Amino acid sequence: MKEIACRDGRIREDMRIVPEEVPIALSYGGSTHAVMMGTPADLQDFARGFSLTESVISSISEIERIDVVEEAKGLDVQITLAEDKEEALRQRRRHMAGPVGCGLCGIESIDQAMRPVPQLSTLSLKLTGNQISDAVRSLNKSQPLHHETRAVHGAGFFVPGRGLVAVREDVGRHNALDKLIGAVAALGLDGASGAVAVTSRISVEMVQKAAILGSPILIAISAPTALAVRTAEEAGMTLVALARGDDFEIFTRADRINTKAIAHVA
C-alpha cells in the first residue's frame, strides 16, 4: 500500500504492507452468534478456540464440521455441532437479552461476564526465568505477519524442552489467543503442559481464556489490569507480565517460577 513516509527528516513516497481486517461471523446451526473483526487466517482454529472459550462446547470432538463461506463483505465461519450441543445453544439463545459483540461474546449479564474460572493444577508446570525470556523471544521471532506489518498480536504455547509448539496471529489480541487455543486443542496437547505467551496487555478475558485452556502460566509483554490479577489469583494461575528481554514481573503464584538460576541470555 502506498504511503508518504517521513524518516530521518526526509519525506518520500514508500510502500507499506498492512494486514487485512475483515468481519468474521461465527455461526452455529445457520444462526450468527458473534461477528468479530479479525485477520482472515487460521479460521478453523478460530472456530475451535472461540467455541471452547465461549463455553459453547467443552471439547472440540463436539464440533462435527467447520465451513468457511465467503460473503460480499466478510467471512462466515459456519460451525456444525453435535445435536445435543446445538439444542443447548438454541436454548441459550432464547434467553439472551440482545446482540453480542467483541470481547465478551454471548454475555447478557454482569454475573456471566464475571464467570468463575477453572481451578488450575498446583503441581503441574514450572518455568525458569530463562525459559520465560526464551518464550517471549521465540514468540517475537515466530510472527511473520507482525514482521511484515507491525500491526498484529501474537499468542504462543511454550512447552519446556520443546519450545513454542504453536503460534497464531491476529489484529485482535482475543482472536489471536482463541486461534492459539483452537490450535493447541487440534494438536491434542494438554493445556497444563505449557505456558501461554502473548504480545499484548493482560485483561480479564485473556486470563479467562488461558484458564479454560488449562494453562497454569500466562506471560505477556505488557502490564495486567487489576481485575486480571485478581482473576488469575482466583484461578491459581501464575501471571507474568512486562516480560521484555530478560526482565519480567510476577504478579501471582510466583512459586511456579524458579528465579534463583537466572543467567543472562545473549
Which of 72-86, 90-104, 130-144, 239-253 is the least confident region? 90-104
CA–CA separation, 95 vs 238, rounded Å? 35
Give the dihedral of Cα atoms 194, 197, 201, 205; nearest 10 deg.
-40
pLDDT in tens, 177-193: 999 999 999 999 999 99
> Does the pLDDT of residue 104 top 70, yes or no?
no
> Does the pLDDT of residue 173 top 50, yes or no?
yes
Residues 71-96, mean pLDDT to the nearest whole number = 89
pLDDT in tens, 12-61: 998 889 999 999 999 999 999 999 999 999 999 999 999 999 999 999 99
C-alpha grid cell, residue 34 = 458473534
Please list the residues that pair with 224 across neighbouring strands: 202
> Does the pLDDT of residue 106 top 70, yes or no?
no
CA–CA separation, 59 vs 61, rounded Å? 5
Location of each CATH 3.10.20.10 domain in the chain: 22-113
Q: Which CATH architecture has domain 22-113?
A: Roll (3.10)
For the chain, the average pLDDT equals 90
Class of domain 127-258: alpha beta
Q: Are 179 and 46 in contact (CB under 8 A)?
A: yes
Location of each CATH 3.40.140.10 domain in the chain: 127-258
Residues 53-75, mean pLDDT to the nearest whole number = 96
Catalytic residues: 102
What pLDDT, on the 0 to 100 scale, is given for residue 105?
53
